[in-house]
Structure 1
Amino acid sequence: MIAPVFGAMLRTSDGVRIDAGHLPGPTGHTGELGFVLAHGFTGSWRTPITRRIAAVLAGYGGVLAIDFRGHGRSAGLSTVGDLEVLDLDAAVRHARTAYQRVVTVGFSMGAAVALRHAALHGGVAGVVAVSGPARWYYRGTRPMRQVHWAIEHPAGRLAARVAKRTRIAVGRWDPIPLAPYQAAPLIAPVPLLIVHGDADTFFPLEHAHQLYEAAREPRELWVEPGYGHAESAATPDLIRRIGRWSTRTKPE
């Protein structure tokens, strides 16, 4: 069953409106632990897949799920992981008004944003990066070549807008943002959990190892056998394990 949510509208420091949904945590634990859920590229917190993930996490704490800029009902244009740190920061700051500890849980692009946010902005008690890239411009798999086509070509951007309600900014990054593997060592002493599947068709396992090797303690790497990519492959059991890991994070 997909849990009911309470809609919210956030505003980033650069003035972009961000659509969000809030699921209260379990009875008796209100105010202790909150999650900020960050979807992958072309995703949305309103999809059934993401709603199911949020419903499972809500068994461990409150959940604030957002649509990144240029996605779904949020305003602005997607910068595919750059300015999205401001979106996540707006959500974390909002969550911190209600929860003592906030853990960010990001999938794919959202994982890269969660890593960069913790390194550049802080304010979190833990970071979970699921199926995330370690570095930018990776084209070593067919799905990632298709993603780059959607980002770089007018026909691809039109297809993303029509089929996925994702509006993508035109042009290259300038300057190039801090890469996820460069952000990873700056997160400590906040606990970092890296989750990656050995059957990921977008980012091979080398990305997870590069992130883990760059990070400092406390850090964990979970290599999930048979697990594919991001939200679409996440099982309730995996999300429950992430929830239990998050309950062990300490107040800042």
Structure 2
Amino acid sequence: MKKRNKILIACTSVVAVMAAGLFGAGMYFYKVAVVPAPKSFLSKPEKIKPGNKLYPAQEWYKHVEKQRWHEISATRHLKLDANYIKAAKPTKKTIVIAHGFMGDKDKMFSYAYLFHNLGYNVLLPDARGHGDSQGKYIGYGWPDRLDYVKWIKQVIAKNGQDSKIVMFGTSMGGATTMMVSGVKDVPKQVKAYIEDCGYTDVYSEIAYQAKQLYHLPNWPLVNIVSMITDVKDGYSFKEASALKQVKKNRRPMLFIHGAHDHFVPTRMVYPLYKADRGPKQLLIVPGRGHARSYQNHPELYTKTVKQFLGRYFK
């Protein structure tokens, strides 16, 4: 009996040590994946100098008149920040732009310039935990989807019930856009969506990154990080699904993805496109890199976006 008890105690101790180790690893990777901070695995933004095709957009954004808008998050009572840029000519049409992981409203200047040149008002919010918005965690689009509905309602409140709105986003912002599309009470003034290189769901994207960056299997570590996020921040990785949300969508959506994207793998766009229930269009843009489709092929990108908006945003 004593020998059996010793074995039991030893086994319990081993399990406890393993559990503590896994929890410690989970907390470490929670900080890597979910806490807003500089990330070593993200490439540094390039300096845009005269001669760069994005330079005119950068200079325009620096000097264009911006209104500062504020909103309170749908949960947790966080103060959110945004820039609003009026169209050159008065219009009721507005593009709401969602930025990517560890980005902010100012980093979306090239897209703001694109849509401004097409004649639209532009609203550029900072997501929770990014830019000038409050928050100590990255929502990967899931809690943010409800915040963007509030931003959309603010556009309607300020610009009128006859407003027409399209939501656009890249990377995490693309996933956010798709997540918004499945929200039940999205106002009727939202006429269409454009998503660029968004992921299917947060679990799949983080599992992919764990394997790519750290050569780690998704189980059990990603599950542990998801549980920590659920307890601390109120959402789990598996429930944060753009794929499930687009299945509820009935409004037009343009899906864009780079042909050789190795950060959000190109293969993710195909099940998203297939699952969407509304009028839809898919553009695979030649070239390498993540969220670089506009930069790689600005003419193709602009032409496709313009035609899509012309069809569904009259």
Same fold (TM over 0.5): yes
Aligned to 2:277: 216
Contact 1:142–1:202, Cα closer than 8 Å, also in 2: no
Shift in Å at residue 7 of structure 1? Answer: 1.9
Identity of aligned residues (%): 23
Aligned residues: 226
Do residues 88 (structure 1) and 148 (structure 2) align? Answer: yes
Residue 219 of structure 1: CA displacement? 0.7
Q: Say whether 1:70 aligns with 2:129.
A: yes
Distance 2:290 2:211 in 1: 11
Provide Cα deviations, 1:110-149, integer angstroms capped at 9, x if missing partner. Answer: 1111111121142221011100111332333579647x9x
Which amino acid in 2 is paired with 1:56? L
Per-residue deviation, residues 161-190 of structure 1 (Å, max 9, x unmatched): xxxxxxxx95683484251111112111x1
SS of the aligned residue for 1:226 comes to: strand
Structure 2 partner of 1:42: 102
Pick closer, same or farther for the CA change 1:68–1:144 going to 2, 3 Å: farther
CA distance in structure 1 between the partners assigned to 2:267 and 2:288 by the alignment = 15
Cα distance in 2, alignment partners of residues 105 and 143 from structure 1: 29
Task: Structure 1: give runs of 5+ residues left out of the alignment.
Answer: 154-168
- Aligned residue type for 1:225: P
* Distance (whole Å) between structure 1 residues aligned to residue 196 and residue 180 of structure 2: 15
Query: More relative contact order in 1 or in 2 (CA 8 Å, sep 6+)?
Result: 1
Q: Distance in 2 between matches of 1:119 and 1:203?
A: 21
Gaps in structure 2 of 5+ consecutive residues: 1-55, 223-230
Task: Give, as a single letter, the amino acid of the residue that structure 2 aligns with 1:211.
Answer: L
Which residue type is aligned with residue 116 of structure 1?
M
Structure 1 length as normaliser, TM-score? 0.79
How far 1:12 sits from its partner (Å)? 2.5
In the TM superposition, 1:142-161 aligns within 5 A as 145=213
Contact 2:201–2:238 (CA under 8 A) maintained in structure 1: no
* TM-score after normalising by structure 2: 0.65
From the two aligned structures, give the one with the greater helix fraction.
Answer: 2
Match for residue 56 of structure 1? 114
Distance 1:193 1:132 in 2: 12
Give the one of 64, 83, 88 matched to 1:21: 83
Q: Per-residue deviation at 1:6?
A: 2.1
Please name the residue that 2:163 is paired with. 100
The answer to whether the 8 A contact 2:70-2:82 is kept is yes
Deviation per residue, 1:19-44 (Å, 9 max, x gap)? 100111231x521x110000011000
Question: Does 1:185 find its partner at 2:247?
Answer: yes
